[in-house]
Structure 1
Amino acid sequence: MRSSAIAGCGFANMSRAVRRALSTGADAAAARLSGSRWERLKNGKAGVWCRSLLSDYREACRDMVVGARERPLKASLYAVALGGGWFCFHSQPGQSEFQAALVERSNQLGLLSPWTRSAASDAHVQNLVKLQSQGRLRLLSLGLLSVVYGVDHDPDTTLYEAQCSSLSAPWREIPHRVLDVGFCWRWWVLESKMKDYDVNEEEFRHLPADMQRTSPPGLQGVQRNESLHRQSWLPLPVGAQEE
């Protein structure tokens, strides 16, 4: 009985030793395999290219730092130019901003009567609204600014003139079709057309040239007008009423 127990313990110890040896050998083989794969990847074409690319970038960054220390003014100009380009890129308005601005300007003109609103502002906004309703407005992003221009046909139109690429408007005609320019969150042409949108120029067309344009009064003119206004509320003397 004792001999059989001893034999069983010896067999168990031997099996554990065999399993340990096999696991150690498998780990060593896996390590050698992974190491060989990593070595092949590192020494291959892709690894050499990646190392050379990282080395070039490291040298370029080092040269940039050295150049900035040697020429701080030039480096500052480059930094300002890059920062300005980044700001312009992120501040250029898009299609949704243009539609919102057009709706807002159209509502502002709609609150005024036709005899009060500016004819130039109303004509420009009505033209944009008409082109948009017809699907003929296009927005082109140029990186630093956005350009809105008009085309002849809606792209969904099934007419031959609209579908034929040979009859489409060439690129050289786009500058003549530009309707607005978006830059720094603003649409500059639309805002310039909406200046004095509540003033009808036709009402003052028959006046002399010197009376068509007025300038705001100065401090002395304001004080004189206030003085005359206060004097107008004073009672007239009896002698002045008899005269």
Structure 2
Amino acid sequence: MLSALWDLLFPPRCLFCRQRLAANTILCSHCRLQVLEISRCCSLCGYPFPARSNGNCPRCSGQKFLFAHTCAVGLYAGQLKEAIRRYKYGGRTEMAAGFGKLLAQQITKCNWPHLDAVVPIPLHPQKLRQRGFDQAVLLAEVVAKELALPLKKSLRRCRDTVSQTQLSAAERRRNLEDAFSAVQAGQMPKKILLVDDLLTTGATANNAAKALLAGGAEKIYLAVLGRS
């Protein structure tokens, strides 16, 4: 009764494009096409292989990542990009629930071995004060609940870095160098699911993984909303 009344007053809408939906769905049929097929993506960096591919990834070939595997909901483009921007910069914190469920569904499709904990890549405290919320933490909370895993805040952002948006790949790597440190060293989970909103060059995730491995983690799996 209450659920039906709620749906009448606030009809479900597609998380990406805001089109009205039937109950208990997250995406419309059109936006569902933006969700990546895990079997057709690079297991290391999460980027989809070209239509004609010999198994070599065009995005991460020759790169050395400290995380072992990656999965993403979709490419950072189109309606997904706009939705992530609404969530991240528009203060739409309620979108974390839908995003977290989608990401958990993608992670399940990867058939990764048992993970010990979910760890978000945190904002620096100064950036957190400016934004008012940490998008990766909210996302990780939902993912942890969906996968029945503990949430561990095992990373600290110890340096407030400049925005990565306009930086080259080399500048991104320099910008993020030693930006993270491990929390709870000696009590670090061994197999960690690292969660963030975006993966571009991998500089942020790589430096976060570096800190976790230095703190005692053994293997890092990465999950993001958007891959660019």
Q: What is the TM-score normalised by the length of structure 2?
A: 0.23
Higher strand share: 2
Tell me which of the two structures has the higher relative contact order, counting C-alpha pairs closer than 8 angstroms and 6 or more residues apart. Answer: 2
Higher helix share: 1
Q: Which has the larger radius of gyration?
A: 1
